[in-house]
Amino acid sequence: MCRSIKTLREPYASDVTDDDVRAAALQYVRKVSGFRSPSARNAEAFERAVDAVTAATRALLDELQLKQVSRD
């Protein structure tokens, strides 16, 4: 897929910000669409896609149930 999208779940990332989530969504939409920057006629669809992927990513990260690691 896109190598510049970093893993956002713990233990790989502990302080994931909304900016991190949106940046990953933007990279995904860029990769899928083939556009780094869409034309004016595609900009609205592009932004809606980024918003949708951002929301889905945040929901996924919030709902993941990870095994607790014992740190003795």
Q: Is residue 46 part of a domain?
A: yes
Q: Is residue 4 part of a domain?
A: no
Q: Is residue 68 part of a domain?
A: no
The token duo for 13 is: 């990332």
18-52, pLDDT tens digit by residue?
Answer: 999 999 999 999 999 999 999 999 999 999 999 99
Q: Which domain, by its residues, includes 49?
A: 18-60
Mean pLDDT of the chain: 86
pLDDT of residue 1: 47
Going by pLDDT thresholds of 50, 70 and 90, the confidence category of residue 4 is low
Q: Is residue 10 part of a domain?
A: no
Q: Is residue 72 part of a domain?
A: no
Q: Is residue 30 part of a domain?
A: yes
The dihedral formed by the CA atoms of 30, 20, 55 and 39, expressed in degrees to the nearest 10: -30
Going by pLDDT thresholds of 50, 70 and 90, the confidence category of residue 72 is low
Going by pLDDT thresholds of 50, 70 and 90, the confidence category of residue 71 is low
Structural domain count, the chain:
1
How many angstroms separate the CA atoms of 12 and 16, rounded? 10
Q: Is residue 50 part of a domain?
A: yes
